[in-house]
């Protein structure tokens, strides 16, 4: 999804009130919140939506009956230690979900986060956003998925280190260690067409 930084500075409480008021309005863009600054998230491309839903659907099926919950696009994740809020493309939690308050729309303990990369968000997703996500003690895996080519990067937490593994062949399977399942790349990229190089 494309992002654009706004100059508005809000407290975390003001941000949450603003986002919750915006939910009924389907035309309102979602906003992430990083240390007082609002980052507007614009609409996603067809490829982005296909990849997100393919991953979410496969995770939902694979994790059914295992005490895990899978969310796509709309579950806000908080990194309390950095006073920030994000909307990952796909979120998985496999223990009792912990929420910031009794509205149950801000998750505190994801085990797996997936971001589908866009030209306008790639640097942000790899850099600042990942730095914030690493502050979540529950997070075990962070997945970055290219939408313009076959390329998936899995970052797996091993103690204080994050180990990178690339998947670039359509015949490969993305092994998700945190949730003990595998997703075939040809299903992740089902119906996605790539630009001619």
Cross-strand bridge partners of residue 141: 112, 156
Q: pTM higher than 0.85 for the full model? A: yes
- Inter-residue contact 85 to 15 (CB < 8 Å): yes
Burial of residue 37 (number of CB atoms within 10 Å: 0-12, 13-18, 19+): middle
Residue 151 CA, chain-centre distance (Å), reads 16
Tens place of pLDDT per residue across the chain (197 aa)? 444 444 568 899 999 988 888 755 545 568 899 988 988 887 789 999 999 999 999 999 999 999 999 999 889 999 999 999 999 999 999 999 999 999 999 999 999 999 999 988 899 999 999 999 999 999 999 999 999 999 999 999 999 899 999 999 999 999 999 999 999 999 999 999 998 75
The CA-atom distances, in angstroms, between 188 and each of 49, 113, 148, 168, 182 are 11, 15, 13, 12, 11
CA distance 147 to 45: 9
Burial class of residue 112, CB neighbours in 10 A (0-12, 13-18, 19+): buried
């Amino acid at each position: 999804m494309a992002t654009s930084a706004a100059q508005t500075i809000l407290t975390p409480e003001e941000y949450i009130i603003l986002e919750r008021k915006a939910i009924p309005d389907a035309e309102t863009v979602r906003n992430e919140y990083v240390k007082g600054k609002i980052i507007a998230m614009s609409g996603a491309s067809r490829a982005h939506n296909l990849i997100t839903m393919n991953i979410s659907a496969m995770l939902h099926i694979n994790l059914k009956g295992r005490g895990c919950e899978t969310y796509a696009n709309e579950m806000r994740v908080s990194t309390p230690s950095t006073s920030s809020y994000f909307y990952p493309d796909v979120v998985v939690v496999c223990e009792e979900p912990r929420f910031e308050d009794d509205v149950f729309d801000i998750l505190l303990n994801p085990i797996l986060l997936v971001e589908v990369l866009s030209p306008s968000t790639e640097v942000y997703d790899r850099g600042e956003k990942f730095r914030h996500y690493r502050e979540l003690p529950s997070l075990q895996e962070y997945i970055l998925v290219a939408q313009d080519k076959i390329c998936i990067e899995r970052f797996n937490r091993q103690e204080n280190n994050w180990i990178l593994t690339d998947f670039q062949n359509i015949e490969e399977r993305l092994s998700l260690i945190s949730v003990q399942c595998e997703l075939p790349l040809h299903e992740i990229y089902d119906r996605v067409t790539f630009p001619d190089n």
